[in-house]
A and B are shown apart, each in its own frame.
Chain A
Amino acid sequence: MNTMNMEEQILDFLDGNLSGSEEEELLHRLAVSPERRTLLRQHLQVREMVGALAKQQYKQVPIMLTAGVFQAVTALGYTGPQPAHQDVQTAEVAAPAHVVSSSMRRLISLRPASVAIISLLLLLAGGAGTYLMTNSPNTSAVSQTISSAPTQPSDISSKASDVNSTSQNSISRNSISENAQAISPVTSQHASYLHRHSHSVSDNVMANGNSADDIRSNAATTDITNNSTILPEHHDNTTIVKSDVANPSDKNNASSVKGEQNAPADIRDPGMQQSGRKNNPLDGNTLTGGKAGKLPLFEFSVRTGGGKIPGSELGYTGSLVEVRGSYSALDWLSFTVSLGQFMPYETVAIPISNASAGLGRDGSQLLKLAPAVQYRTLASAEVGAHFSLLSMPLEFSVGGGTDFAGTVMPRASLFTSLDLQDNLLLRVGVEGIAYTNTKIGSSLSQAEAQYALDHPLLVGSIKTKETAGFIGPSIELSWRF
C-alpha cells in the first residue's frame, strides 16, 4: 500500500481490488484531502465517459465480413450452420410480448391440411355461388345478352326479335311487367363482364315478340336492375334473370338482354365487336371489353388474408392486409400494385426470464430463438390472368413484393369473384407468400449486443434460416371505376 501512489490506490479501489483495511485507509485519506477527492471524482467521471464511449463505439460486424469468415472456415472443413446474409443493421429483435404463447399456439394451431381445405372450400363456395346464380334452374335459358347500345327503337325491336328467335322459351308481355316488380339480383360471369365493360345502363329484353315500345313501357315504371326476382308462376323454365332497364328517354343507354348463353354475335353491337371485343386466350370465351368498349380500367380493392407456411410447427405463420390498385390492360390481363402491412412470424432471438428458466443464476441474460410476429410494410407488383373454369370466373396472379429491408417476397394468388353491386366485387381465394428468412443470425447478434453487458447466453436450438410467409384463405373487396 505504501508503495502505491494515490492514483493507483484510487484505481484499485474502483476496481475493487483493495482489502478492507486498505479501503479504510484510503477513505480516511480521501476524507481529509479535497485534492484527493477531486482525483477520485475525476476518475469516476472518466469511467463514466469511457462507458458511454464503449457503447458508442460498439460496432457490429459487417455482413460481408461475417460471410468471408464462414467462407474461409468452410474451405477448411466447417460444416455447421452458415451465418445470416442480411444486413445486421436491419435486424429486429421483437418484444417478448410478441412471442407466440403456447396457449395462443393451441388456439390457432391449424394444420396445413386444414388451411388448404378452408381455402379450397372458400374458393369452391365462391365459384359455386357464381355458378348457381348464373345457371339456376329457375333462371334458365331465357335471357340473352346484348352488349351494345341500340340508338333507335328499331334496333331494339330487331334485336328483340333475334332474341326471340334464339330463345327456346318465351314469356308474356304481362309477365315481364309482373316480374319486373321483384327480380332477384343475379350475377353471372357474363353479367360481370358486362358490368365491367360498360358504364351504361342496360335494357333487358325478355320479349316474345314484344316491340321496343313494349319493352320501354315495361321499363318505364320499373328499374329492374336491382329488383329482379322470380315469381312462382314462372317456374316453367321461363324467367327473367336480370334486367337492366334504361331510361327510355335516353336513347344512348346500352341495352342488355341477359342470357345464360353468350348472345349471338348478331345481337351485339357491330361497332363494339370491331373495336372493343377481345378474345380471352385462357377460356376461349368471346368477351366484350377493351378501352373502346368503355372498360373500367381501374380497380381499387382491400385484401386481407392469412395462413401458415407448410412445414412450420406453428399453426399460423402470417397475415396480410393491403390496399391494391389494378389496371386492366386486356380483358384477361391486369396489372396490380399494392401496399400493405405484412405480419409474418419469424424466428428471432428474444430474452427469456432467468427466474423461470432456472438458468442464468449468475445474472447472465438468457436468450432463445422463438417465433415472433414482425410488422413489415410490403409493397408488391403482380400480373394477373383472368379466365373461367366451369363457369367460375377465376383470376390467377403472380408477382413479388419487398419489405424495403432487402427481402424479396414472391407471391401468388387464385381468386374467384362475386358481383355485389355494379361496381363492387367480393373476391375470395387463396393467397400465398413465401420467402427465406435469413435474419435469424442477425437477430441473435443484435440481441447479444443489446445484452452485451449481461453476459447473454443462448439456450435451446439454433438455426440460421427458415422459410417464412403463409399460404391460406384471403378475401378482397373491390371497387371498379
Chain B
Amino acid sequence: MSEQTQDIKIALSDEELWSTFCEGEESAYTLLYYRHADRLYSYLKMLLSASFHESIDDVFQETWVRVFQGREKFTSNGSGSFAGWLFRIAHNISVSLMRRPHTVSTFKDLASEEIVLRTASVSEYDPLSDNRSVDEVLKILRGVVEELPMQYKEVYLLAEFEHLSIDQVADATGISKGNAKVRLHRARQIVREKVLVALGVEFDGAKNNTEL
C-alpha cells in the first residue's frame, strides 16, 4: 500500500487545484478529473442523448484534453470558475459537433419558434393516469427535458442538474447573465407546461403569463 503516493498539501477549491496543476503538480489534474468527470458526463448524456449519443464519449474526452492543454487559458484570479470554464469547453465542442454536415448549425438554430413549438408539444406522451409510478413520472420529465430546444436545454441542465450558478451558466454557455436568466426561465416554463400536459393537468398557458 505504498505505491505512487504524492502529497497534495490541501486541495480545497477547484481553482486552487487548478493553480496547483498549473504550477506543475499534475496530480491535481487527476483530482479535478475525478471531481467533475461524472458531472460532466451526466450533463453530456442528457444534453446529447437525442441526436448525438454516439458522440458523447468523444466530446467528453476532447473536453478533458483541452482542459489539460489549457493551462494558460484559464486563470482563477478572475471571477470565473473552473466548473464554468470546464462546461464552456464542453459547450463549445458540442456546438462544433452540431455544426458538422447533416446537423443543425448552432444551438440557436434549434431554438427557432417552430422547433420550440414542436418540441413543446406533448402529443407523444400518454394521458395521465392516477396510478403513475415515480419512475413513470420521471421518465416523462426526462423526455420533456431531452426535447427542450438546445439553447434552453443546456442552460436548464447546467442550472437544475449540475447546480451551476447563473454566472457559471453564463460562463459555460458564453452568453450574458441576463440572457442566461431569460433562457432558464423560459426553459422552466416549458418544462412545467409540458409536464403538466403530460400528466393530464389542464392549464391555460396564456393565462399563466398574463392574467395571473
Contacts and interface: CB of A to CB of B under 8 A. Distances in A.
Contact of A467 (B3, B39, B64): B3
A11 B209 CA distance: 13
Contact of B212 (A39, A69, A83, A309): A39
B160 A312 contact: no
Interface string A18-60: 0000000000000001011001001100110110111011111
Interface residues of B, number: 59
Given A53-B138, A73-B68, A60 B38 contact: yes
Nearest to B67: A73
A436 to B, nearest CB: 8
B129 to A, nearest CB: 17
Interface stretch (B26-34, B91-99, B105-113, B147-155): B26-34
A78 interface: yes
Given A317-B1, A457-B11, A467-B2, A69 B65 contact: yes
A50 B161 contact: yes
A370 B157 CA distance: 34
Contacts of B134: 52
Nearest to A5: B209
Given A57-B161, A464-B4, A456 B35 contact: yes
Interface residues of A, number: 69
A441 B30 CA distance: 9
A445 B39 CA distance: 11
A467 B1 CA distance: 5
Q: Is the interface of A mostly helix, strand, loop or mixed?
A: mixed
B2 A461 contact: no
Interface string B136-178: 0110011001000000000000001101000000000000000
Given A46-B195, A456-B35, A39 B208 contact: yes
A83 B30 contact: yes
A172 to B, nearest CB: 66
A159 to B, nearest CB: 60
A371 B5 CA distance: 14
Contacts of B5: 461-463
A461 B188 CA distance: 42
Given A52-B138, A445-B37, A448-B38, A5 B210 contact: yes
Contact of B163 (A11, A33, A43, A453): A453
B130 interface: no
A313 B208 contact: no
A311 B5 CA distance: 13
A69 B96 CA distance: 19
A198 interface: no
A462 B10 contact: no
A475 to B, nearest CB: 25
B192 A43 contact: yes
A468 B208 contact: no
Nearest to B204: A35
A8 interface: yes
A271 interface: no
A462 B142 contact: no
B59 to A, nearest CB: 11
A81 interface: yes
B61 A72 contact: yes
A61 interface: yes
B8 A461 contact: yes
Nearest to A437: B1
A446 B206 CA distance: 45
Nearest to B156: A50
B137 to A, nearest CB: 6
Contact of A466 (B2, B11, B191): B2
- The 6 A-B residue pairs with the shortest CB-CB distance in the complex, in nearest-first order: A80-B26, A6-B212, A466-B1, A463-B5, A73-B68, A312-B1
Most buried by B among A78, A81, A359: A81
A458 B160 contact: no
B179 interface: no
B60 interface: yes
Contacts of B25: 80
A462 B10 CA distance: 11
A308 to B, nearest CB: 10
Contacts of A116: none
A178 interface: no
A46 B28 CA distance: 37
A319 B39 CA distance: 37
